Structure formats: C-alpha cells, structure tokens
Amino acid sequence: MLQIDEDACIGCGVCEENCAFDAIHVVDGVARVNDNCTLCGSCVENCEVEALHIEKSDQDGHVDLSSWSGIWVYAEFRHGRIAPVAFELLGIGRQLADQRQVKLSAVLLGHGFSDEAEQLIAGGADFVYVADDQALEHFTDDAYGNVIIDLINEHKPEVVLAGATAIGRSFIPRVATSLKTGLTADCTQLAIDPDSGNLLQTRPAFGGNIMATIVCPNFRPQMATVRPLVMKPLETDLSRQGEVIQVKPAAARMDSRVKVVRCVIEEADQVNIVEADVVIAGGRGLENAEGFSLIEELADLLGAGVAASRAAVDSGWIPYPHQVGQTGKTVCPKLYICCGISGAIQHLVGMQSSEVIVAINRDSDAPIFSVATYGVVGDLFEILPELIARLKEKR
Amino acid sequence: MNIFVCIKQVPDASDVRLDPETNTLARDGVQSIINPYDRHALEEAVKLKEKFSGTVTVVSMGPPQAEDILREAVSCGADDAVLVSDRAFAGADTLATTYTLSQAITKRGKPDLVLCGKQAIDGDTAQVGPGLAERLDMAYVTCVRRINDLVDGTLHLERMMDDGYDELEVKLPVLMTVVKEINKPRLPSLKGKMKAKKLAITVLSAEDIGADIKQLGLAGSPTQVVRVFSPEFKGERTMISGTVSEQAAQLAEKILELV
Ligand SMILES: Cc1cc2nc3c(=O)[nH]c(=O)nc-3n(C[C@H](O)[C@H](O)[C@H](O)COP(=O)(O)OP(=O)(O)OC[C@H]3O[C@@H](n4cnc5c(N)ncnc54)[C@H](O)[C@@H]3O)c2cc1C
Ligand SMILES: Nc1ncnc2c1ncn2[C@@H]1O[C@H](COP(=O)(O)O)[C@@H](O)[C@H]1O
C-alpha cells in the first residue's frame, strides 16, 4: 500500500501531477490516495519531502537464491535457421555471465539440426542444451514450454532470456507462470546491479513514452524477453570452446494440445523490416501507391527493407506487414530513412531506437525532426530522385 | 458456449508522457479507454456467440471506474460483466494479475473460451493471456488473426508469426489472444446501450474470489519497478540544407558512410 506521512506532506501537489492514474489528490493540504493506485511508484520517486512510501511486503516462499546460478538464453530456431536475436542474446548474456562469473548456456529446441549448436558456441555459449526431436519440429507453446520448464527446474539458472519475438512472447509467459517467477517483457537494456547481483531489466512502457527498470529480487530465475536488434552479437569465434549436451525429453512432455497444420511464410521474397540493417519508410507524403516506387527504388539500391506509416497502410498503398509503430512492427535498424512521415508518437515508438534516423519532410516543424539524426527539409519528390541518382553513381 | 473476455482499462497511451524537464508524468486530460486490442477480443466473442450461441462475460480487474469500460462492452454485445476490484490487487504484476483473473473466472463458471487482447497498451507486456491460460490449465494460442471454423468442438485458426502465419487446430476449452486484423469492432447498439445502463455489474473482492492474499497485488508480484524515466532521444541533430542537389549530395555521402 502507498503510505502517506501526513506530517511530512506539504501538500505541494507534485504527486498529483505525476500520477498517470488519477489516484492521488491533495485534499486539505495533504495528499490522499484512492483506489486507482497501481503502486507504480512514480509519486514516491518525485516527492521532494519523502512523504510517500510504498511498503514492500515481505514475500515469503521466496527461493534460496544461492542455489540458482548461470545465464541461459533460448536460441530460437525456425524454418531451418537460428533467429538472429539468439546471437544478440548471447552477446548480452556473455557480459552478464562474465560479470556474475557464471556460465552462459543456450537452449536449442527443434528437429533436424546440423551445426547449430556449434554456431551458438561460436556466438558465445559455454554450454548448449539441444533437444532434437520430431515432436519439436514445429513450435508449440506446450511442448517447447514443458521442455524448458523441466530443464530450468533441473539446472536452476539464475537468469533466462528469450527474444521478444512472436514465439518468445507466446511461450515464455507460460513458463514464468508455471515456475511462479517474474518475467519482464520486451527489454531494451539489461545489466547486473553491482550491489545485489540482481538483473536490472529496462523496458519501454506506455507505448514508448516511459522507460521503467524492473527487478525480480526474491524469485528465480529472473526472466526477460528482449527486443530483437537492440543487443549486439559477439563476433563469431570458431575457436571458442563449449560443450553440447543432448537432452531427451519424455514423450509426454512434448505433447501439444494445439496441433500445427501448416506454417506459411508470407514475406519470404521481401526483406524482413524487423531484421533489416537499413529501412526506408514512406508516409502520407508519398501521395499514392506509385509514390512507393521511389521508396522501393532506394531500398533496392541499399538492400533495405520497405516500411510505412499507418496513414500509408490505411490508404492501401502498401500492405500491413510493412507498418511500423505502436500498432505495427518495431524496428531498430542501423539506418532508418523516412520520407513524408510527420512523426506522430505512435510512429516514433516503432522506430526511435534506430541508430541513425534520416528524415525528409517539407514541413520544418514536423515532429519527426525531433528524433532525426539528419534532417532534410524539402520535397521528397525532388530529393529522392537526386539521391537515388547520386547513390547509383557512387556504387 | 461459455465465453469470457478479459478487458482492461488503460490510459490512452498517446497522451501519457514524462515532462522532460521535471521528469514527471504529464497526464493532462488523459482519457481512460478500453484497451484497443480488447475491443477486438470482445467483437470476436460476440461474433462466436451469435454464430454458435452462448454467453459472453466481460471481466476486468481494476479500480471502481473500470465499470465504465465494462458497460461499454455490454453496449457492444457482452451479456454479463464482472469487475474484480479490491485495494489488495494494487501493484499487481502479470503473475499476480493472472492469479486474480483466474480465480475470478473460475468463480463465475467453466469457460469454453477465454479471449484476451494481444497486449495492453499501457504495459505492452502480452503476458497476461498465456499466463492466465496456464493458471486455468487451458490450451492457448496467441496473436490469433483469424478463426476459420469451429467444428465438433475443434477450433481451426490462424496465428500471426513474425514471418507469416501458422494454421492451427485446437480442441475447446481454449484461451486466445487476438490481434487487430481479426475483425472490425462494432459500435454500441441502441439496445446494447439500454442493457448496459440497466445491468447490475457484479463486483468481486479478494474475499469473494477466495484468493490467497499472498498471491495478490504487490505481495504476489515477483517483479518490482525500481525506476521510471523518460526515454532519451539521441540528442544531436544535423539539418542538411542547401539546394536540392546539395542536400542530395550530402545525404548520399552520409548514407554511404553507413552502409
Ligand atoms: C491507437 C493508434 C495507433 C496508431 N498506430 C500507428 C502505427 O503503428 N504506426 C503509425 O505510423 N501510425 C500509427 N497511428 C497513426 C499516427 O497517429 C499518425 O496518424 C500516422 O503515423 C501519420 O502518418 P504519416 O506521418 O504518414 O501522415 P501525416 O501525419 O499526414 O504526415 C505526412 C507528412 O508528409 C509530409 N509531406 C507531404 N508531402 C511531402 C513532400 N512532397 N515531400 C516531403 N514531405 C511531404 C508532410 O509535411 C507531413 O509531415 C496510430 C494512431 C492511433 C490513434
Ligand atoms: N487488469 C486486467 N483486467 C482484465 N484483463 C486484463 C487485465 N490486464 C490484462 N488483461 C488482458 O490481458 C491482455 C494482455 O495484457 P498485458 O499482458 O498486460 O499486455 C489484455 O489485452 C487483456 O485482455
């Protein structure tokens, strides 16, 4: 519960302004909390006279922390290849493991592997647990979840990370619930708290308007899904040594209540914008579907993916899988070039963590310029053809 | 068919922002709305009910004001509404939320189907659906974009994946989370509005759902928020000026440095 020290409270109202939930009001010179309170803590943080406290109740039943050790990453494997996010997880996982002076392990589930386990060792893993079974050929929440739950219970890692992909975000929450531990979704930063050794998990909330750092101090494992393309993979090092451990889950644990009839890959011939290093995006400023041919030309030249604002998608100029933003995809390429996009917050949240952002817009006040690395005020129909011509020259 | 839909009241995310100077939450005129994805979950539930008969119960865990969204849901076709509300729920993370929701749903009957939104736009976790399924010991499918059929108690549906979609079959009971592509939510009907006005919404407390206090709210939440702050926009911005061809030339140079 939120405790208010009425003697300390000066009724300044900062807490009231801070509250996103309309849960705290100054009445007769003293802050009062109502039922809307979610204990998010932003009032406590901002109270200058320290009149507010959240009483963290003792969590009993918590686990013996010392018996949990090691960092694990789930290495997603689908359609015959390891998802790039797995190597990114090994990159950050290596740092965390070295800091904690523990081992880094990868878990690989699926069917018909060749040298994938070795790839994971070259990517930083000390151990790779491999379950290769016909029953794991297709992803199912039940089978993949059960196998990982059993492995975690057996080996007791202190941290378990997975990619915040469609698969990771589907089965990992069930794993965490079954283990009765905490799970932080879609993290963009991970670090070890030097004092406690706990994992500091930072993630965007409220559609990217706010960042929050979350810990799971009393339960193990500490679990997080991690947004793809945020963490850096290590250089592949084929001389790295590691151990591959084959696991044979019981058949019953690989049963699934959901049956996979067919997997359809839709974007096979297009560059997947979530994984692309360069993304070219177009918005309403392109005026019509033909406008996208300029974007496509530039994208072809740079081997880039094509993205769009919702306005462009809603106008039917390009299909939904290309939409970036709150209700579309989140991308984080090395270079994001957006043309004729105003930069509404719902678009920004999907692309603002890109390394370099180039914005082309004829309105110098467009909000997109607030996140741009390079801004070009001008008409995209004039700039893009020139730009394309120059790039062609140089290549 | 006994269908439950979990809906959450959320602040309209586009309005919530930290003041960059004071690092405080600016909530001027922030509206509370039904989580947008949950509208699609409700619509799908109502469509299924219309086709296969049954009842649709909307459930929300939240403060007393969440009654507003429950009434709105009834005006859009839900038959019954349950508000799970108690101070003891405050500070719940997804683990405590799934516990509370599962206790409430079990109290109200045996579900054939539970529908959730893909994620709530305040937390964006997408964890409550799968977690709730585990609590209820139900099969589940996330990110459902289409229900193709329901034959002899088996659902045929499509789950959105990062690179396409999977076609799946699953026997009821099932929990699903839905994406917005699944349907276009209807507007409230006049009849629905009348019903919503009159309906007595059941309010369940921690005691009513027979909850173990230790698993509720902050006490039942393994995760704790230790810091809230504004995202940093990577400062330095360079405007590229000049004539069109000068701009294009400079831009080309910058781009070639990067790729
Ligand atoms: C709940 C919700 C969710 C949403 N989710 C998303 C989402 O996921 N993704 C998303 O993108 N949006 C989303 N939106 C919509 C968002 O608010 C904006 O409406 C949308 O991003 C605007 O798209 P736009 O920038 O292409 O169009 P506009 O805002 O119309 O901007 C067009 C821009 O092009 C410029 N322009 C025009 N002609 C030229 C020219 N010849 N040369 C150069 N510049 C030119 C204009 O100056 C203007 O800045 C969401 C909205 C809501 C309410
Ligand atoms: N407090 C709540 N009450 C009812 N349903 C909820 C609540 N929180 C989450 N949900 C449901 O779970 C889905 C996913 O939420 P989240 O895991 O918070 O992103 C939402 O779309 C809702 O359907």
pLDDT digits (tens, 9 = 90+) for A207-243: 666 788 999 999 999 999 998 878 989 999 999 999 9
Give the residue carrying structure tokens 């930063």. Answer: A189
Task: Select the residue from B21, B203, B225 to test the A interface by mutation, using most A Cβ atoms within 10 A.
Answer: B225
**Contacts for A376-383: CB closer than 8 Å, 24+ residues apart:** A376/B239, A376/B240, A376/B247, A376/B251, A377/B239, A377/B241, A378/B244, A378/B247, A379/B244, A380/A285, A380/A286, A380/A294, A380/A339, A380/A340, A381/A294, A382/B244, A383/B244, A383/B247, A383/B248, A383/B251
Q: What is the pLDDT of residue A48?
A: 87
Higher pLDDT, A276 or B130: B130
| CA of residue A298 to ligand 2 center, whole Å | 41
Please tell me the distance from the alpha carbon of residue B166 to that of residue B173, in angstroms, as a whole number: 20
Compare CB distances from B18 to A54, A210, A352 and report the shortest one's residue.
A210
Q: From the CA of B85, which ligand is nearest?
A: 2
Say if ligand 2 is within 6 A of residue B81 CB: no
Residue B98 phi/psi, 5° resolution?
Answer: -65, -35
Compare CB distances from B251 to A38, A167, A358 and report the shortest one's residue.
A358
| CA of residue A312 to ligand 1 center, whole Å | 8
- Report helix angle B94-108 to A168-179, nearest 10: 80
CB B63 within 8 A of CB B10: no
B13: contact with A, CB 8 A cutoff: yes
Residue A73 in this model has a pLDDT that exceeds 60: yes
CB pair distance less than 8 Å for A373 and B143: no
Say if ligand 1 is within 6 A of residue A208 CB: no
Residue A56 in this model has a pLDDT that exceeds 70: no
Higher pLDDT, A63 or A388: A388
ipTM above 0.90, yes or no: no
CATH fold of A2-54 reads Alpha-Beta Plaits (3.30.70)
Q: Which residues of A touch B13 (CB under 8 A)?
A: 206-207, 209, 326
Q: Which of A75-84, A157-166, B23-32, B115-124 has the lowest mean pLDDT?
A: B23-32
Q: How far is A288 from chain B (nearest CA, A)?
A: 22
Q: Work out the widest C-alpha separation in chain A, in whole angstroms.
A: 73
Say if ligand 1 is within 6 A of residue A145 CB: no
Query: Comparing C-alpha atoms, which of A312, A361, A316, A307 is closest to residue A336?
Result: A307
CB pair distance less than 8 Å for B64 and A185: no
Identify the CATH assignment for A65-254 out of 3.20.20.80, 3.65.10.10, 3.40.50.10330, 3.40.50.620: 3.40.50.620
Nearest C-alpha to atom 9 of ligand 1 is from which residue? A325
For B240, name the nearest residue in chain A, comparing CA atoms only. A376
Say if ligand 2 is within 6 A of residue B36 CB: no
Q: How far is B202 from chain A (nearest CA, A)?
A: 17
Q: What is the pLDDT of residues A22-49, one digit of tens each?
A: 788 999 999 998 877 777 777 887 888 9
Q: Where in chain A is CATH 3.30.70.20?
A: 2-54
Identify the CATH assignment for A273-394 out of 3.40.50.1220, 3.40.50.150, 3.30.1490.120, 2.40.50.140: 3.40.50.1220
% of chain B at pLDDT higher than 90? 78
A41: contact with B, CB 8 A cutoff: yes
B213: contact with A, CB 8 A cutoff: no
Q: Which of A262-266, B38-42, B154-158 has the lowest mean pLDDT?
A: A262-266
Q: Where in chain A is CATH 3.40.50.620?
A: 65-254
Contacts for B149 with CB less than 8 Å, ≥ 6 apart:
B155, B156
DSSP category for residue B158: E
CB pair distance less than 8 Å for A383 and B25: no
Q: Considering chain A, what is the average pLDDT of its residues?
A: 91
Compare CB distances from A335 to B64, B245, B259 and report the shortest one's residue.
B259
Q: From the CA of A310, which ligand is nearest?
A: 1
For A47, name the nearest residue in chain B, comparing CA atoms only. B24
Q: Where in chain A is CATH 3.40.50.1220?
A: 273-394
Burial of B75 (0-12, 13-18, 19+ CB in 10 A): buried
Say if ligand 1 is within 6 A of residue A353 CB: no
Give the residue carrying structure tokens 């209540």. Answer: A257
Say if ligand 2 is within 6 A of residue B127 CB: yes
Amino acid sitting at position A194 = P
For A183, name the nearest residue in chain B, comparing CA atoms only. B223
| CA of residue B47 to ligand 1 center, whole Å | 32
Q: What is the pLDDT of residue A83?
A: 94
B96: contact with A, CB 8 A cutoff: no
- pLDDT tier at A276, thresholds 50, 70, 90: confident
Q: Which residues of A touch B156 (CB under 8 A)?
A: 261
Q: Considering chain B, what is the average pLDDT of its residues?
A: 91
Q: Which residues of A touch B222 (CB under 8 A)?
A: 59, 180-182, 216, 218-219
For A225, name the nearest residue in chain B, comparing CA atoms only. B125
